[in-house]
Amino acid sequence: MTTLKKGDKAPAFSALDQDGNSHSLADYKGKKLVVFFYPKASTPGCTAEACDLRDNFERFEANNFALLGVSADAASKQAKFKEKYSFPFPLLADEDRAVIEAFGVWGPKKFMGKEYDGIHRTTFVIDENGIIEEVIDKVKTKEHAAQILK
């Protein structure tokens, strides 16, 4: 699981979003960046989480935050997810898991007694200089914005 913690430098990631546009950590210098990792597009928990962030998007913008969602879903799946729920932020299609691995959120999970490898729902709040301000690994999907904007 993630070894990144508050005060660490965020990994210098680069990945493509649902429309094939590239996003890298450097693009967000001078802004606060919320990178939220979710297991799978269009599943109930992930939808609740992303919708809560969408509904509070103006508050994020007012506080100089940019948001990036990340999962290992294909770009086409991310595009449908973004379109269906009108998310105002990009969703990275990290199919090769480069960003997921860089942030250390891939690992063993348990679901209904079965163990498998997958993405741990984790959010990183990164400051204007690329330093991790907070790691949220106990994400409350329906009130996630409040966890970040406290």
Measured distance CA(17)–CA(142) in Å, rounded: 24
46 carries an active-site annotation: yes
**In the chain, alpha helices (H):** 44-55, 57-62, 75-85, 98-102, 144-148
- The residue annotated as part of the active site, out of 10, 46, 67, 105, is 46
The neighbour count for residue 103, using CB atoms within 10 Å, is 24
* Distances from the Cα of 52 to the Cα of 56, 97, 103, 109, angstroms: 6, 25, 23, 24
Q: Name residue 9's beta-bridge partners.
A: 131
Which residues are designated catalytic? Answer: 46
